[in-house]
Amino acid sequence: MPTSSAAETGTLQALFDETIAAEQRIEPRDWMPDGYRKTLVRQIAQHAHSEIIGMQPEGDWLTRAPSLRRKAILLAKVQDEAGHGLYLYSAAETLGADRADLTAKLIDGTQKYSSIFNYPTRTYADVGTIGWLVDGAAICNQVPLCRSSFGPYARAMIRVCKEESFHQRQGYELLATMMRGTDEQRAMVQESVDRWWWPALMMFGPPDDESPNTEQSMRWGIKRNTNDELRQRFVDMTVPQAEALGVTLPDPALRWNDRRGAHDFGEPDWSEFKAVLRGDGPCNAERVANRRAAHEDGAWVRAAATAFAAREQAAP
Ligand SMILES: [Fe+2]
Ligand SMILES: [Fe+2]
């Protein structure tokens, strides 16, 4: 009956609102508004896709690592990213999303991944810079998500963040080693930081007044800080690390502001950000084509696993 189901939805909505207000977790079995579910599926899918596509820029260097030690570290890091993607696809599945469908949307371009992975890795210093700046920015974004209102996402983030800390440290350690090396190595680090600094700042998304979904996501406890707050946190965290490394961040407007108790910094080129999101970044086509080829090449593995599972189920 329409009246009773409306009343029922009203009660369920009230329960949901109380859970959010009490800072408790929403679990997959709980009722949730459609918008909440859709927003989470979109965000978690985009996050999962970023982890998987994010394996490519550094993966390009696996066969060219300068030593066995560097190769072992890089392999471990890239494998961690695959694991992050898997936890996140699983979290999306608890919301009723279908993983095959999410993959299809990634390779047909209807779902996005972080714009940062559309930039090329030109030198081995980029492996260090990505760890330091890109994983560093990811940590700023993801630590507050450990308190996300959706249980499976928040719990996945705890392990992901621990691994991201390792990624950030290995990147910093690699750059610190190069900075103690030759003039050529130091120049290589600086050139790499010059290329990655601005794209790293763009990882926090557009400025708050151009981020239409932020307010609702914050009311739902999906997001805990605005894009600009997180960008500021990242800049404040990174400046002393750059000083310790001895590299210059390529922003003439970057300086400490005593009154705000924070660093002032310049504006990223948002037209570049929009172009990369539109698909016009230096590596968009290559990244998606690689992912599509890997998916097609893996068809026999999926078929074999499905046949095996069916046989196991049929067994007495
Ligand atoms: Fe990751
Ligand atoms: Fe990472």
CB atoms within 10 A of CB 186: 18
Within 10 angstroms of residue 169's Cβ, the number of other Cβ atoms is 14
Q: Is residue 2 part of a domain?
A: no
Q: How far apart are CA 285 and CA 189, in angstroms?
A: 27
Domain that holds residue 124: 10-314
Residue 2 region by backbone torsions, left for phi larger than 0, else alpha for psi between -120 and 50, else beta: alpha
Position 3 in a domain: no
Residue of 96, 104, 113, 109 whose CA lies nearest to 45: 113
Per-residue pLDDT reduced to its tens digit, 22-76: 999 999 999 999 999 999 999 999 999 999 999 999 999 999 999 999 999 999 9
**Domains identified in the chain, total number:** 1
Question: For the whole model, what pTM was predicted?
Answer: 0.93
Side chain identity, residue 227:
N
- Expressed in angstroms and rounded, the spacing between residue 225 Cα and the centre of ligand 1 is 20
Within a domain: 5: no
pLDDT recorded at residue 165: 95
Q: Does a structural domain hold residue 4?
A: no
Residue 1 inside a domain? The answer is no
Q: Distance (Å, rounded) from C-alpha 310 to C-alpha 247? A: 57
Ligand having the closest approach to the CA of 160: 1
What does the DSSP 8-state code read for residue 216? H
Q: What is the DSSP string of 63-113?
A: GG-SSHHHHHHHHHHHHHHHHHHHHHHHHHHTTT--HHHHHHHHHTTSS--
192 is a domain residue: yes
State residue 1's pLDDT score.
44
Question: Nearest 5°: phi and psi at 150?
Answer: -95, 115
Q: 156 in a domain, yes or no?
A: yes
Q: pLDDT value at position 316?
A: 72
Cα gap 284→290, rounded to integer Å: 10
* pLDDT less than 50: residues of the chain: 1-2
The pLDDT of residue 227 is: 95
For ligand 2, the distance from its centroid to the CA atom of residue 167, given in whole angstroms, is: 5
Q: List, for residues 136-153, the tens digit of each pLDDT value.
A: 999 999 999 999 999 999
CA of 281 to the centre of ligand 1 (A): 21
CA–centroid distance, 52 to ligand 2, in Å, is 11
Which CA distances in Å does 189 have to 122, 142, 178, 186? 11, 26, 7, 5
End-to-end CA distance of the chain: 44
Residue 168 C-beta-side C-alpha neighbours within 13 Å: 18
- Based on the number of CB atoms within 10 Å of its own CB, is 63 exposed (0-12), middle (13-18) or buried (19 or more)? exposed
CA of 275 to the centre of ligand 1 (A): 24
pLDDT value at residue 10? 86
Question: Residue 201, Cβ neighbours under 10 Å: how many?
Answer: 22
> What pLDDT score does 59 carry?
95
Q: Which ligand is nearest to the CA of 76?
A: 2
Distances, alpha carbon 128 to alpha carbons 188, 189, 237, 282, in Å? 11, 8, 17, 20
* The predicted structure's pLDDT at residue 265: 98
Burial class (CB in 10 A: 0-12, 13-18, 19+), 67: exposed
Structure tokens at 83: 């694991």
Question: Is residue 155 assigned to a domain?
Answer: yes
138 close to 14: Cβ distance less than 8 angstroms: no
Please report, for the domain that includes residue 216, its CATH number: 1.20.1260.10
> DSSP characters for 14-44?
HHHHHHHHTTPPB-TTS---HHHHHHHHHHH
CA distance 252 to 234: 17
**For the chain, what is the radius of gyration of the CA atoms?**
21
CA of 112 to the centre of ligand 1 (A): 16
**Minimum-distance ligand to the CA of 164?**
2
